[in-house]
Structure 1
Amino acid sequence: MDTEAQHTERGPSSDTDPDRDSGTEEGPRSARVSGDSGGGEDPAGPGDPAGPEDPERAPSWRRTALLGAACVAFLLLLSHFVAQPFLIPSRSMEPTLRVGDRILVNKLAYRFGDEPHRGDVVVFDGTGSFVREEAAGDPVTGLLRDGAAALGLAEPAETDFVKRVVGTGGDRVVCCDEDGRLTVNGVTVVERYLMPGDPPSGVPFDIVVPADRLWVMGDHRSQSSDSRDHLGSPGGGMVPVDRVVGRADWIVWPFGRWSGVAGTDAFDAVPAPPAGGHPTGPGAGGAPGTGDGGTGGGAGSGDGGAGPRG
């Protein structure tokens, strides 16, 4: 009887037990493995989200932020040194530039010794010539505004203008001759770029441009506030060459207007000014004139980039 009892007690652990062969003990064995996982050893594999952060799997927002900051820095550098977008808000340069055009100004055009030529469409800072010097505002606000304007996202301070160069240093510019046309250094200029129906000027003037200065006018003369309107102001309406931001070379928006800013051959026959200066003429400044243009606008009210004025 003892033998049978011992045999019965040992039965479940025998090698021939069918339950063991069928894998009954896998349950407890698996439980022990699970228990080991929760007992303080490394609970997560390398792919477990709860495990240590993989440096090669940095959060996507961090990469996006770094990429965005790099792009903004690149655009700011590009805008400051190479090319800057400007928005045209007025009619003073029609038909060459229309309201809503976004132009790209080439800042390298005059950076390596070259200077503006007659017929160039330029953007310039009119401080001291077209607008009065003003006290500086909040530097932080100004910096943020300049940054946004550099990207073409905001209008800059109301000191930027876009106009066409009509006279450079030493030139005598007169309007109008017997046929009602503009002359430069005694040669009649046929201005085909003017707005159809507009005369070259509704106000007569006779000026000699000082050295390192520019005489500038809009293409839509009846809607442009330009050098004519500032003859009696300090500087006589002449723009210092070193105030030129750059040359308007491209129209980049809207897509239907995508093109280069057309050049002109109107001044090809104009000779250089005489070495000793012109013997006649009132000289720089001339008689004060009121011009025939409107108030222009720009950098918010004019015809310029991201707001140059009209």
Structure 2
Amino acid sequence: MTSDDRGSSSISTDEGPRSSRSEDVKGRSGRTKRKQLPLWQETILLLGVALILAIVIKTFFVQAFYIPSESMEPGLILNDRILIQKISYWGDDEPERGDVVVFKDPGGWLPPSESAGPTNPIAQVMAKIGLYPTGGHLVKRVIGVAGDTIECCDDKGRLIINGKPIGEAAFVRRGDGKCDGPMPNNGSCDWRTGPIPEGHIFVMGDNRSRSADSSAKMCPDNATECVPGDEFVPADLVVGKVFVLLWPADRFRWNTRPATFEDVPDPSS
């Protein structure tokens, strides 16, 4: 081997590793210098993501409401904050007897002042994303579902659903009434309704003598300007089921369906 050969071999061997090391250093240096967004841009991005998540949660899962009247006492009182969940009514599932539900005004159930919703701009934005109650909604308990027949009342003042008296003393306030089902317009404890049409429900407030509910929409005997059927609420107007009494904190509790409705027979039986 000549001296020229040795020199050539030495140079070739030495340059390869140096080139490789140089490229490796550049690669590592490039990865560590990744550009970050300015703080204000990151803040806007995070707020945007939070807003989208809030809208998705409100649309499909959970929404906040408040109790606008005394109609659901003693369990839910004026200005209580509640949360409703919507999963139970996904697909073909509909409200069940005993559920406390929030539903949109079927038309003429609420005065204009309660249908308008919040007027404060901040409250309006919060209502859009489900963090503040919207107007035009009612909170009532489902008493009857499609096919049910409801009568008022037995000799103990209890409602009768499909021939079965139901004990509601644990959550109902009779107030000035002598039974669990007086119509506010005449205080009667002697009425009957049903069968409830398919895709509809019959609802009542727990404060039976202080609730403008389905019983108040029934046509009294010999009425000439009443439309039969207005007492039934379309099930597709139901927004969701109340599952939490959120505020005030000292009254926080989970809301569940009373066991008394489990013994109600099906309409066909």
TM-score using structure 1 length: 0.61
Deviation at 1:178, TM superposition (A): 2.2
Match of 2:89 in 1: 110
Deviation at 1:119, TM superposition (A): 0.5
Residues 170, 211 of structure 1: 8 Å contact kept: yes
| 1:207 is the counterpart of 2:193 | yes
Give the number of the structure whose residues are more often helix, by fraction.
2
Residues 64, 131 of structure 2: 8 Å contact kept: no
Highest Rg: 1 or 2? 1
Deviation at 1:207, TM superposition (A): 0.3
CA distance in 1: counterparts of 2:91 and 2:70, whole angstroms: 32
Deviation at 1:129, TM superposition (A): 7.1
Residues 96, 262 of structure 1: 8 Å contact kept: no
Deviation at 1:171, TM superposition (A): 0.9
The two structures, once aligned, show a CA RMSD in angstroms of 2.9
Name which of 91, 101, 106 aligns with 1:122: 101
Alpha carbons of structure 1 residues 112 and 244: separation in structure 2 relative to 1, 3 Å: same
Deviation at 1:188, TM superposition (A): 0.8
Residues 145, 156 of structure 1: 8 Å contact kept: no
Calculate percent identity across the aligned residue pairs: 37
Alpha carbons of structure 1 residues 271 and 114: separation in structure 2 relative to 1, 3 Å: same
Match of 1:63 in 2: 42
CA distance in 1: counterparts of 2:34 and 2:130, whole angstroms: 37
Match of 2:256 in 1: 262
Alpha carbons of structure 1 residues 259 and 57: separation in structure 2 relative to 1, 3 Å: same
Q: Kindly report which structure 2 residues correspond to 1:16-27, keeping only aligned pairs within 5 A, or say none.
A: none
Deviation at 1:179, TM superposition (A): 2.2
CA distance in 2: counterparts of 1:122 and 1:227, whole angstroms: 13
Alpha carbons of structure 1 residues 258 and 174: separation in structure 2 relative to 1, 3 Å: same
Ranges in structure 2 where 5+ consecutive residues have no aligned partner: 1-32, 183-187, 220-225
Residues 130, 237 of structure 1: 8 Å contact kept: no
CA distance in 2: counterparts of 1:65 and 1:220, whole angstroms: 47
CA distance in 1: counterparts of 2:125 and 2:56, whole angstroms: 10
Deviation at 1:152, TM superposition (A): 4.5
Alpha carbons of structure 1 residues 131 and 99: separation in structure 2 relative to 1, 3 Å: closer
SS, match of residue 267 in structure 1? helix
SS, match of residue 87 in structure 2? coil
| 1:193 is the counterpart of 2:171 | yes
Q: Which amino acid aligns with 2:201?
A: L
Q: What's the CA shift string for 1:7-60, capped at 9, x where partnerless?
A: xxxxxxxxxxxxxxxxxxxxxxxxxxxxxxxxxxxxxxxxxxxxxxx9845432
Residues 83, 242 of structure 2: 8 Å contact kept: yes
| 1:77 is the counterpart of 2:56 | yes
Q: Kindly report which structure 2 residues correspond to 1:1-310, keeping only aligned pairs within 5 A, or say none.
A: 56=35, 58-128=37-107, 130=109, 148-157=126-135, 159-191=136-168, 192-195=170-173, 197=175, 199-202=179-182, 203-204=188-189, 205-208=191-194, 209-232=196-219, 234=227, 235-274=229-268
- Higher RCO (CA-CA < 8 Å; seq separation 6+): 1
Deviation at 1:146, TM superposition (A): 6.8
TM-score using structure 2 length: 0.70
Residues 85, 151 of structure 1: 8 Å contact kept: no
Ranges in structure 1 where 5+ consecutive residues have no aligned partner: 1-53, 276-310
Residues 80, 150 of structure 1: 8 Å contact kept: no
The total of aligned residue pairs comes to 214
CA distance in 1: counterparts of 2:230 and 2:262, whole angstroms: 26
CA distance in 2: counterparts of 1:91 and 1:229, whole angstroms: 16
Moved over 6 A (4+): none
Residues 129, 237 of structure 1: 8 Å contact kept: no
Residues 103, 251 of structure 1: 8 Å contact kept: yes
Q: Which amino acid aligns with 2:152?
A: C
